[in-house]
Amino acid sequence: MSHADEEYDAAAQAQALAGVVEREPRNAVAWFDLALAHKYLGNWRESAAANLRALEITSEPGDPAWWNLGIAATALRDWTLARRAWLGYGIDAAELREGSGPYELHWNSNPVRIFSDDRDTVEIVWGRRICPARIRIESIPFPSSQHRWGDVVLHDGAPNGERVVDETAYPVFDELERWGPSEIPSLQANVRCVTDGDAEALVDAFDTAHFAAEDWSTNVRQLCKQCSEGTQPTHDHTFPAGGEERTFGIAAPIGLASQVLSTWRAASPATRDYEDPVPVG
């Protein structure tokens, strides 16, 4: 079951299951399912309480109630409870065992499916997993997603599709909420790159400045829902070919972005040019 499951009515489930646990207070499965419904509703205190009740009745390492408790506790920024949940699940990390406040783990990059506030816009971006339930976005999302480079998103634990890169499969997680908004603005710049090397040099220039740039003209492809939630696209969704005129997404203060673009152009004025960057999100 995923957050995007259109047939799952979390509010109706929460109401029905509240009646079940009232009649059967020792029903661990019902408490778990109630916690799940509250998770999808974003009722984090209720979700944490129901997961704790399920774990009081029956608990063992690897129990999914520990995982959902960790998500709820992270949403609440209850670091003591979150540490207890991840350790209870069986994640043995020094960052969790030591200390008492916020923590970050150093896990691999991973794709995450993000949603606009009205859920009309869906986009899969890449980021760095900083704990079992949080990813810091390292792509530059389109402004329609209402997200930014550097946002930290709280994500579900159930994969909804996967992406395969260099024969390695990465699960795609669904965003539950924008947990920590980034303060770095999103910009757009139309640039001229005669060669792919010119485009790569622009990406490298922003990386050197500790910000980011992404070639939206060639790095992004539109997928249907079936392909997006599958393992690999089953239809022909190819990346667009690069040309001289390209659109770049940039994550940086606008003044700094202009300086980086100017320096980049000066290094090869015969093959590089740009229009002034404009804020887009």
Structure tokens at 171: 């699960």
Domain span at 133: 109-180
**16, 27 in Cβ contact below 8 A?**
no
Strand partners, 125: 112
Same domain, 236 and 264: yes
pLDDT of residue 276: 98
Any domain includes 4: no
Domain boundary among 32, 62, 97: 97
249: β partners: 188, 214
Note the pLDDT tens digit of each residue in 140-185.
Answer: 999 999 999 999 999 999 999 999 998 899 999 999 999 999 999 9
Is residue 102 situated within a structural domain?
no
Q: Is residue 3, in this structure, part of any structural domain at all? A: no
Average pLDDT over residues 70-86: 98
76 within some domain: yes
Final residue before a domain boundary, out of 165, 180, 195: 180
Q: State which of 180, 201, 230 marks the end of a domain.
A: 180
On whether both 223 and 164 belong to a single domain, the answer is: no
Q: Residue 18's domain is classified under what CATH number?
A: 1.25.40.10
Distance of alpha carbon 133 from the chain centroid: 9
CA distance 80 to 63: 19
Q: What is the pLDDT of residue 6?
A: 60
Average pLDDT over residues 114-122: 92
Residue 154, beta-bridge partner list = 134, 177
pLDDT tens digit sequence for 213-265: 999 998 654 444 445 455 555 545 354 455 899 999 999 999 999 999 999 99
pLDDT of 117 over the 70 cut: yes
User: How many helices (H) and strands (E) are present in the chain, helices listed first?
Assistant: 9, 12
CA 263 to chain centre: 32
**To the nearest whole number, what is the mean pLDDT of the chain?**
91
- Of 10, 2, 9, give the one whose Cα is nearest residue 159: 2
Put simply, whether the predicted model's pTM sits higher than 0.85 gets the answer yes
Same domain for 150 and 134: yes
Q: How far apart are CA 54 and CA 49, in angstroms?
A: 9
pLDDT number for residue 229:
55
- Domains identified in the chain, total number: 3
The answer to whether residue 104 sits within a structural domain is no
Supply 76's token pair: 């609440």
Residue 37 lies in a domain: yes
Residue from 270, 274, 247, 245 nearest 258 by CA: 274
